[in-house]
């Protein structure tokens, strides 16, 4: 090998510390013989090992401080000699990422939703007391919580489950059903000699919850017996009656229903029935450990 000796220059040691960071310097002299081509020595010096000494590599910890990591290694000829190279290793501090404060943001996002009542709670209808089809759209603003924090691990199965969920518990002051996970993602990151996950959460809040409302209407009704109860067949199944117009023909447009499978009386058509369907899985959001940082974000 062309490297004959390595000496650490103790007179060039140095260390500094600031409010949130630190730094250190180590310098080595690497000597070569004539066993190689000089043009390679600038690269060989950075990876040299001899005399019981090995040049530190990037991300290697400082021997006197485990939170100082080598971030830069430089080599250059020392003086006019092509046989002697000076290698400088610069160290900088890396805070333990798992102790860093999370980043918490509150914002809003505009969404357009169909509405059937005005701000006074009155039905939105035309002059002949018919509801509009399609219904009028109104812009609303959902509250959005974004949290980004470092975690030791990340389970994509858990993340996938939460992406299709709402809160089953009271979360950040909101009742069950009003918080919905939109983003639950992880990115594998290295800081110094540590590997961790940078996890991002985005939760949307909507007053009244995330159930899907739809007007109760259709082309048939449930058949009733003489006592007004559903008339079941011999197998216990519901029977249905096709809704027809005054000429005895099947309706071409769906009619409003009363929420019980019967046609909505004319006198109530200005107050149509809405059915709500729950599509998202209720899960405990406080189990994610986000609540404390949402309410009491650490200060400076």
Residue linked to tokens 């080595």? 28
Beta strands per DSSP E along 22-135: 22-32, 49-50, 53-54, 61-62, 65-77, 84-93, 103-115
Q: Please check the confidence at residue 49 and state whether its pLDDT lies above 50.
A: yes
Q: Please check the confidence at residue 268 and state whether its pLDDT lies above 90.
A: no
Q: What is the mean pLDDT of the chain?
A: 88
Position 294 scores a pLDDT of 55
Beta bridge partners of 8: 28
The β-bridge relationship of strands 281-283 and 165-167 is parallel
Position 30 scores a pLDDT of 96
258 Cβ contact partners less than 8 Å away, ≥ 6 residues apart = 216, 264, 265, 268, 273
Joined tokens for residue 170: 């009271």
Q: Please check the confidence at residue 298 and state whether its pLDDT lies above 50.
A: no
C-alpha to C-alpha distance for 274 and 211, rounded to whole angstroms? 11
pLDDT in tens, 172-229: 999 999 999 999 999 999 887 789 999 999 999 998 899 877 888 899 999 998 888 9
Position 295 scores a pLDDT of 55
Lowest mean per-residue pLDDT among 124-138, 228-242, 263-277:
124-138
Lowest mean per-residue pLDDT among 35-39, 177-181, 182-186, 265-269:
265-269
Q: Please check the confidence at residue 130 and state whether its pLDDT lies above 50.
A: yes
* 3 state SS of 120: coil
Q: Please check the confidence at residue 140 and state whether its pLDDT lies above 70.
A: yes
Whole-prediction pTM: 0.67
pLDDT in tens, 61-118: 999 988 899 999 999 999 888 899 999 999 998 888 888 889 999 999 887 777 777 7
Mean per-residue pLDDT, 140-150? 92
41 Cβ contact partners less than 8 Å away, ≥ 6 residues apart = 2, 32, 82, 85
Q: What angle do CA 23, 29, 31 make, to 5 degrees?
A: 155
Q: Please check the confidence at residue 266 and state whether its pLDDT lies above 90.
A: no
């Amino acid at each position: 090998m062309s490297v004959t000796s390595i000496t650490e220059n103790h007179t060039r040691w140095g260390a500094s510390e600031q409010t949130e960071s630190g730094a250190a310097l180590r310098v080595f002299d690497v000597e070569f013989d004539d066993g190689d081509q000089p043009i390679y020595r600038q690269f060989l010096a950075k990876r040299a090992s001899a005399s019981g000494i090995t040049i530190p590599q990037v991300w290697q910890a400082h021997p006197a401080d485990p939170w100082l990591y080598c971030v830069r290694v430089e080599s250059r000829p020392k003086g006019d000699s092509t046989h002697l190279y000076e290698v400088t290793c610069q160290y900088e501090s890396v805070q333990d990422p798992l102790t860093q404060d999370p980043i918490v943001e509150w914002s809003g996002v505009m969404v357009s939703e169909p509405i059937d009542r005005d701000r006074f709670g009155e039905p939105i209808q035309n002059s002949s007391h018919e509801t509009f089809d399609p219904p009028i759209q109104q812009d609303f603003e959902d509250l959005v919580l974004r949290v980004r924090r470092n975690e030791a691990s990340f389970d994509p199965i858990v993340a996938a489950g939460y992406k299709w969920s709402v809160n089953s518990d009271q979360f950040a002051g909101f009742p069950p059903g009003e918080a919905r996970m939109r983003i639950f993602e992880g990115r594998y990151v290295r800081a110094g000699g540590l590997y961790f996950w940078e996890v991002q959460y985005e939760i949307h809040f909507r007053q009244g919850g995330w159930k899907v409302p739809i007007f109760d209407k259709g082309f048939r009704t449930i058949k009733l017996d003489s006592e007004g109860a559903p008339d079941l067949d011999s197998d216990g199944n519901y029977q249905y009656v096709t809704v027809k117009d005054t000429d005895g023909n099947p309706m071409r447009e769906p009619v409003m229903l009363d929420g019980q499978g019967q046609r909505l009386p004319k006198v109530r058509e200005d107050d149509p029935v809405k059915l709500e369907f729950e599509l998202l899985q209720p899960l405990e959001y406080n189990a994610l450990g986000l609540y404390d940082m949402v309410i009491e974000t650490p200060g400076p």
